[in-house]
Amino acid sequence: MKDVHPARLTVNGRVHEVEVESRRTLADVLRHDLGYTGTHLGCEHGICGACTVLLDGLPVRACLVFGVQADGCEVETVEGLESEGKLNALQEAFSAHHGLQCGFCTPGFLMLATAFLRENADPTEEEVREAMSSNLCRCTGYQGIIEAVQAAAGNRAEAAVEEEVATEASEDRRVEGVSPLRDAGDHEQ
């Protein structure tokens, strides 16, 4: 008999209750049990990063996390990036800078960059390259991806400055409940 466990996941703000076999990966739970097929599997051994999602705000390889490990966690996937049918600044920047061709690795890069930009709102090109080198893209040669992340960072930085001027608020703009990358010990793969 299968070794099945109940798990409760919040994906992009929506709560799901599932029964998962203990060996079933988070990627398979998201894709095949819950229908979040935007998360892609490129290698299933943690190298390519196509399956990158955010688990409690931190980028993880969904192929290296079991579904049951996500019990009680907040999961963010590519499907959660747009709002009201509008692409966010990072998504727009990927298109504007030709940061995708086949689009298979793209959701992983978008999630990786989302977490990276929350941590480092105004990165240098070197820092972007370093961070983006944890995922593989076979089509673009990375140039468009690097430019897109830098452009999105620029937009964010500008937006943040405007916001600051407008509201005199200097609060961290990160989503509530999302911990910064450097405190990521528990979820590192």
Partner 1 sequence: MSAVGRRIGRLEDRRLLRGLGHFVDDVNLAGQLWMRVLRAPLAHARIEGIDAEAALAFPGVEAVLTGEDLEGIPPIPVRTASEHRLDEFLQPVLASERVRYVGEPVAVVVADDPYLAEDAAELIEVSYEALPVALDAREAVEADAPQLRDEAGNEAATLSMGYGDVEEAFRRAARVVEAEVKIGRHSGVPLETRGLVAEYDGGSDHLTIWGSTKVPHFNRRVLSRLMEMPLSRISMKKSDAGGGFGVRGEFYPEDFLVPYLARETGRPVKWIEDRQENLVATNHSREQTHRLQAAFDEENRLLGLRDEVWHDNGAYIRTHGVIVADLTLAMLPGPYRVPAYEGTAHVALTNKTPCGTFRGPGRYESTFAREHLLDVAAAQLGVSRLELRRINLLDASEIPHARGLSTLSTDVILDAGDYGGLLEKALLQSGFEDWEREVRELREEGRLLGTGVGYFLEKSGLGPYEEAAVEVDPTGSVRVLTGGASLGQGIETVLAQIAAEELEVPPEEIEVVHTDTDLLPDGVGSWASRSTVVGGSAVMLAAKATAEKALRVAAELLEASVDDLRLGESRVEVAGSPDRHLSLGEIAAACDPQSSAAMGEEPGLGARRTFSVEHMTYPYGVHLAQVEVDPETGGVKIRRYFVAYEVGRAVNPTLVEGQLIGGAAQGIGGALLEEFRYDASGQPLASTFIDYLEPTAAEVPRVGTLICEDAPSPDNPLGVKGAGEGGVVGCGAAIASAVEDALGVPGEISSLPITPDRVRTLARRKSEAGE
Q: In whole angstroms, give the CA distance from residue 52 to residue 54.
A: 7
Q: Is 34 in the site for partner 1 (CB under 8 A)?
A: no
Nearer to partner 1, 47 or 175 (CB): 47
Q: Is 189 in the site for partner 1 (CB under 8 A)?
A: no
Beta bridge partners of 11: 14, 75
Nearer to partner 1, 136 or 157 (CB): 136
Site string for partner 1, 169-188 (x = CB under 8 A): --------------------
- Find out whether 142 and 130 touch, Cβ atoms under 8 Å: no
Q: Is 96 in the site for partner 1 (CB under 8 A)?
A: yes
Return all residues near 153 (Cβ < 8 A) that are at least 6 apart.
117, 120, 121, 122, 123, 128
Nearer to partner 1, 57 or 67 (CB): 67
* Contacting residue, 4, 87, 161, 175, with partner 1 by CB under 8 A: 87
Nearest to 131 by CA among 151, 147, 117: 117
Nearer to partner 1, 64 or 179 (CB): 64
* Contacting residue, 32, 159, 173, 175, with partner 1 by CB under 8 A: 32
Write down how long the chain is.
189
Q: In whole angstroms, give the CA distance from residue 148 to residue 170.
A: 25
**3 state SS for 2-21:** CCEEEEEEEECCEEEEEEEE
Q: What residues numbered 46-75 form the site for partner 1, per CB under 8 A? A: 47-48, 50
Match 């468009």 to its residue by tokens: 144
Q: Which stretch binds partner 1 (CB under 8 A): 67-75, 77-85, 162-170, 171-179?
A: 77-85
- Give me the residues that bind partner 1 (CB under 8 A), please: 21, 23-24, 31-32, 36-45, 47-48, 50, 77-79, 81-82, 87, 91, 94-96, 98, 100-107, 110, 129-130, 132-146
